[in-house]
Amino acid sequence: MMKMIMAIISDEDSNSVINELGQNGFGVTRLCSTGGFLRAGNTTIMVGTDEEKISEAIEIIKSKCKTRKKAIPNLEMSGGMGVMGAAYPLEVTVGGATLFVLNVERFEKL
């Protein structure tokens, strides 16, 4: 059965992921996207493949998508009371990947 991997990855990791997938015979479609929490640039990739090759594609994505620490400005932490958070930046973990593996009922290349 054919599957589709939809992976949301950091813009910083996108070129290396797409190049490595391509070198291993996977077709990739790139979509520009923006994350909701940090409003940072992301790339969503779609990879269609046979079920037997899903693990290989996921391993490639996993090997190229690294998490990293990033300092962000401390946003207002109101909680409905208008209280400001501390003046120092917050450190958050960014990167990695979010994957969805979907069944493909029909595939046509026109």
Domain 2-66+96-103 matching CATH 3.40.190.10: the answer reads no
Region for 78 from its dihedrals, namely left if φ exceeds 0, alpha if ψ lies in -120 to 50, beta otherwise: alpha
- 68 pLDDT more than 80: no
Task: Tell me the pLDDT of the chain averaged across its residues.
Answer: 83
pLDDT in tens, 6-35: 999 988 899 999 999 999 999 999 998 876
Domain definitions of the chain by residue range: 2-66+96-103
pLDDT in tens, 93-108: 666 789 999 999 998 8
The residue ranking higher by pLDDT, 101 or 74, is: 101
Kindly list the distances between the CA atom of residue 14 and the CA atoms of 62, 65, 73, 105, in Å, as whole numbers in the listed order.
12, 8, 25, 27
Own/partner pairs, 26-31, CB within 8 angstroms, 24+ separation:
26/53, 26/57, 26/60
